[in-house]
Structure 1
Amino acid sequence: MQKIHPTTIIEAGATIAPDVTVGPFCFIGKDVVLQAGCTLESNIILKGKLQIDEDVKIFSFAVIGSEESEIHIGAKTHIREFVQIGTQETTNESRKITIGANNFLMGYVQIFDGVTLGDFCIITNAVRLHENVTCEERVIIGGLSTVEANNKIGTGVMIGGASVVGSDIPPFMLVEGNKATIKGLNVIGLRRRLENRGDIEEIKSVFKQILGDGADKILAQEIADTNPNEFIQRLSSFVASSNL
């Protein structure tokens, strides 16, 4: 059963599933689509072409979208208090933003235009993702960190708190600092993700070969072309095409 607080404003044209819950003092624009099972707490602003998939929960004082934006938020994502997705000012940059499924965006996160976020990511408090940043799946970013514009973060990366990322980060890396530098492999993340321990040892070996003393893009491409292991291919092909 749909539960919408009487103080909420919904523009004509908005599409809201029958079992959505919307708390007080929210604003839902005419091009917003809320799928089944979504919950909005209080004082939330949703604008622009905004598709929110099933079972998304948005907490108080979040602002998502503008009149010119195009945003898609995947199922079962949680968006905590004071999150801002999309910028309000006029810009010539891409205004499309894609947030995958099963993500957790903690308080005060800012996501700018052109960002793509994969599935199962955790973006902790007061993180900023600037224009055209891409994060692949299962990325974890520590609080108060910034990822500068036009950079790509590979799958399984963990970024330490208060870091400033100014370049691409290959998959499975552990990075931190201002400017952020690679500290090694995210071994704990790999152990949680990969059942075959041989895969982890092979990733360690390739990591030393292509990133041990700077990025060897030529060798990385050779490994990507010849190694059948999908995780090695993802790591080496990423390095070969990165801005490192």
Structure 2
Amino acid sequence: MTQIHATALVDPRAELDDSVTVGPYTLIGPHVKVGAGTTIGSHCVIDGRTSIGRDNRIFPFNSIGAVPQDKKYAGEPTKLFIGDRNTIREFCTFNLGVPGAGGVTRVGHDNWIMAYTHIAHDCTVDNHTTLANNTTLAGHVHLADWVTVGGLTGIHQFVSVGAHAMIGFASAVTQDVPPFMLVDGNPLAVRGFNGVGLRRRGFTPQRLAAVKQMHKLLYRQALTLEQAKSDIEALARDIPEAATEVDLMTRFLASATRGIAR
């Protein structure tokens, strides 16, 4: 049987798996769905058309599925999807999407989201990310797999951060951050590539060498962006073991809309 504390207010229309735990004084709205094994702490408010997957740990004092902080929003049935095995610490705010921009905010699987993080409307946070305390994502931000964001960092609306990138403490991110890069500051600057993180994830020496060379082409050889793109594409022939990493970088550079941090 679902373990719901006597002081929690759960709308009878909400869909909670039998193994879900709900703490004291938590409110859950009528359109909420929560998957097996998820625990929800005390004093949370989960509302809107919010779907939460399996085995998430939601700590006290979170606001999940509230209406977006967008003046254009007029009560439309937008959504929030949260995947599986996420840890969501205290005082986080995850908002619904807005119409005309997809209307969906998405958080993937296996993310470690620390206290006071804000995920605004229509953001997409993929998998295995780490968001330190007071990370603030404006609307439409996209964080790819394995991104790490330092505490007290703000990310501008529509910014994309590529896979395996790391953003340092108290940074202002106003441009797209290519995969694998290590950035910080205000104004933002690229400091190197995320070698420590890549080694922890089992990157081979050949793959690391390709990432190092991509960093050099983008930031150390005074090339134009178009020249750097062309030379990066050639790396797939020179280092076939790193074809996946090269493809990831070339696709990101081709789709960047705010200009890359450079």
- TM-score (normalizing by structure 1): 0.92
Q: Deviations over 1:14-54 (max 9, x none)?
A: 10000111011111111100110010110111111111100
Quote the residue 1:232 is aligned against. Answer: 246
Q: 1:221 to 1:238 in 2, by over 3 A?
A: farther
Which residue identity does 2:30 align to in structure 1?
K
Quote the residue 1:124 is aligned against. Answer: 132
DSSP 3-state at the match of 1:202: helix
**How many pairs does the alignment contain?**
243
Q: Deviations over 1:167-205 (max 9, x none)?
A: 000000100001211111011011122342011112211
Quote the residue 1:73 is aligned against. Answer: 82
1:212-231 alignment, distance < 5 Å: 212=220, 213=222, 216-220=225-229, 223-224=232-233, 227=236, 229-231=243-245
What is the alpha-carbon root mean square deviation over aligned residues?
A: 2.0
Please report how far the alpha carbon of residue 232 of structure 1 lies from its aligned counterpart in structure 2 after TM superposition.
1.4
In structure 2, which of residues 143, 148, 156 is the aligned counterpart of residue 140 of structure 1? Answer: 148
Q: Distance in 2 between matches of 1:217 and 1:116?
A: 28
Quote the residue 1:180 is aligned against. Answer: 188
Q: Distance in 2 between matches of 1:31 and 1:108?
A: 24
User: Runs of 4+ in structure 1 displaced over 3 angstroms?
Assistant: 90-95, 221-226
Answer yes or no: is the 8 Å Cα contact 1:44–1:62 preserved in 2. Answer: yes
Q: 1:167 to 1:3 in 2, by over 3 A?
A: same
DSSP 3-state at the match of 2:170: coil
Quote the residue 2:111 is aligned against. Answer: 103
Structure 1: runs of 5+ lacking an equivalent: none
Q: Distance in 1 between matches of 2:195 and 2:135?
A: 23
Match status 1:62 vs 2:62: yes
Match status 1:84 vs 2:93: yes
Structure 2: runs of 5+ lacking an equivalent: 68-76
Which residue identity does 2:92 align to in structure 1?
V
Answer yes or no: is the 8 Å Cα contact 1:84–1:111 preserved in 2. Answer: yes
